Amino acid sequence: MVRLGRRRSFTSKKRGRGLNKEVELAKEKKGGKLDILIPDSINRPVGENNTKLPREIGYLVRTIATMQVADWSGVEDQQNQKIIKTLLGCGDIDLYKAKFTNKNGDWVDKKHEDKYKKMKFNLDQAIENGDPVNEAVICAKHLGTTSRYICGKGRGPKPPKKVRSSLATILPSTMDEQMQEELTKAKGELTQATKKLDETSEELAATKEKLNRQGKMIDWMKDIVIEKFGMTVPTLCSDDESADDS
C-alpha cells in the first residue's frame, strides 16, 4: 500500500501591497500597542514613534472601521471606541521604560536607557525641590517634538502654562521699565529746558539793568548841557509819537 501525500502547488501567486502595515512596525510592537507620547501642554506627538502614528491610524481604520461610508459620522460608535482604545497610550516615564525593556528588565539599547535616566532625574529633582511635577513636559524636553500641522491646533505648539505665566509676568515688568526710562528721559529734558529758561531770564535782567544805566547816563548828560549852555535837548520819541504830532 502506497500512501500518497497531499499534492502541493508550485504555482507562485503574486502578492499585493496589502494593508500597508510596516514590517518594522510589526516587529517593534510584537502584537502589543504602539506607545505614542502626546503631552497635553504641547499637543504634539513626541518620541521615536511619532512618525509611525499616521500609518498606524490608517492601518487600524482600514482593518476596524467600515469603509463603505462617506465620512466619520457614518462609522458606528462601537468601531470608533475600538480604534480609540487601540491607539490609547500613556505618556508617563514608567511606560517609556516598559516600552524599551524586555521581560528581564534589561534595556533594548543604551540610547533609550540614557533618555530614561535623564527624565527620571528631572522628575526626582522636581519632587525633591517641591516644584510642580509635569511628566509630559519632561518627556517633551528629552524626546523632542515635531512641527507638523495638527488640525485645530494651529501651526505652532501652545507654550506650557509655566511659560505663559512667565510671559504674563515679564511683559508688564518690561513695559514698566520702558515707561520708567521714558519718564526719566522726559524729566531730564524738562530740567534742561528749565535751566535754559533761567539763563535766558538772567540775560534779560542784565540787559534791562544795562539799559537803565544808559538811560540814567543820558539824563545826566542832558542836565549838564542845559546847565552849561542853556540849550534845550530834544527828547527822543518813537515813530508813533512823531506821526501823532504831525
Whether the predicted pLDDT of 44 surpasses 50: yes
Per-residue pLDDT tens over the stretch 97-126: 777 888 788 888 888 889 889 988 888 888
pLDDT-based confidence at residue 146 (cuts at 50, 70, 90): low
- In terms of pLDDT, which residue wins out, 2 or 157? 157
According to the per-residue pLDDT averaged within each range, which of 70-79, 103-112, 123-132 is highest? Answer: 103-112
pLDDT-based confidence at residue 187 (cuts at 50, 70, 90): confident
- In terms of pLDDT, which residue wins out, 64 or 243? 64
Output the pLDDT for position 125: 86
Whether the predicted pLDDT of 177 surpasses 70: yes
Output the pLDDT for position 59: 66
Output the pLDDT for position 90: 40
pLDDT-based confidence at residue 152 (cuts at 50, 70, 90): very low
Work out the widest C-alpha separation in the chain, in whole angstroms: 180
Whether the predicted pLDDT of 149 surpasses 50: no
Query: Three cell numbers at 124?
Result: 526626582
Whether the predicted pLDDT of 202 surpasses 80: yes
Output the pLDDT for position 160: 53
Output the pLDDT for position 104: 82
- In terms of pLDDT, which residue wins out, 68 or 176? 68
Render the burial of 102-127: b for 16+ CB within 10 Å, e for the rest: eeeeeeeeeebeebbeebeebbeebe
- Which residue bears the cell 502589543? 32
pTM, full prediction: 0.28
Output the pLDDT for position 228: 74
Average pLDDT of the residues in 211-234: 77
